[in-house]
Amino acid sequence: MLADGGQQFPAQIVFSVSKRRYKRAVDRNLVKRRMREAYRLHKQALLYDVLNNAGKKVVLSISYIGKEISPHEFVEKKMIRLLTQLAGEAIK
């Protein structure tokens, strides 16, 4: 979703993990930590630079829908793919 303005950064993001699928808060927090870390590592190069050049700002929500807790490498690979697709849509 494109934002109107008034936000400091080019992207605002929310990470969520279903309480129904992961009953224990420890598991939900682990998944959210992995998603946040993968986003933090790649946001500047893959998303922020593209959004700044296009003059756009976005607000998005990422939900984890996996049935099992994935390793960090898998989450990072998927986050890179997601940010690349999002940047491609921002250019259009």
pLDDT digits (tens, 9 = 90+) for 28-53: 999 999 999 999 999 999 999 999 99
> 44-91, pLDDT tens digit by residue?
999 999 999 998 899 999 999 999 999 999 999 999 999 999 999 988
Instruction: Domain ranges for the chain, please list them.
Output: 11-91
Tokens for 59, please give them: 């607000």
Extract the runs of DSSP E, i.e. beta strands, from 1-92.
11-17, 58-64
The pTM of this model reads: 0.88
Q: In this structure, what token pair is assigned to residue 39?
A: 């986003």
Rounded Cα distance between 16 and 82, Å, is: 15
Q: Beta-carbon neighbour count of residue 39 at 10 Å?
A: 21
